[in-house]
Structure 1
Amino acid sequence: MGILGTILIGLLIGVVARFLKPGDQPMGWIMTILLGIGGSLVATYGGQVLGIYRAGEAAGFIGAVIGAIVLLVIYGYLRKS
């Protein structure tokens, strides 16, 4: 897929993660999208390196959403302290 495709999917992942994460998120949409891109990059390439899935599989999308939610939670905790 390439880096550009991963970034574009990261935009979508950020929005999906924002809706799936419960509670109030004290951040703007731009930060949410950036964290979605980060989660997408980490989960996509991390999952492929670990051999969990291959490029183009649906598991990559699910992994990217989970990665983005984890980054949203970490960012929320860091922002509170």
Structure 2
Amino acid sequence: MELLEKVMQHPPESIRALADRLDRDVHDVHNDLHLLAEYGIIHFEEDGRAKKPYVPYSTVWIEVEFGLRRGEGSESATSA
């Protein structure tokens, strides 16, 4: 969420610039951006060798549902 917010507030000049701003590994930021791009949230502008990430929307609505399948993660397991 922080990554998305930073890109929306001040689009960076490159993925590396965003990674520096977030104090994160550039490879991890690259992976996160490309995942968001697969969902059509992040877009890229090519500028020579640099890819400038941007969000072409003023608002992004993200709905997430998650949970465990029945029996997974249950506390009923006995310890030896």
TM-score norm. by structure 1 comes to: 0.28
The structure number with the bigger radius of gyration is 2
**Structure 1 or 2: more helix by fraction:** 1
TM-score norm. by structure 2 comes to: 0.29
Q: Which has the higher contact order (CA 8 A, sep 6+)?
A: 1
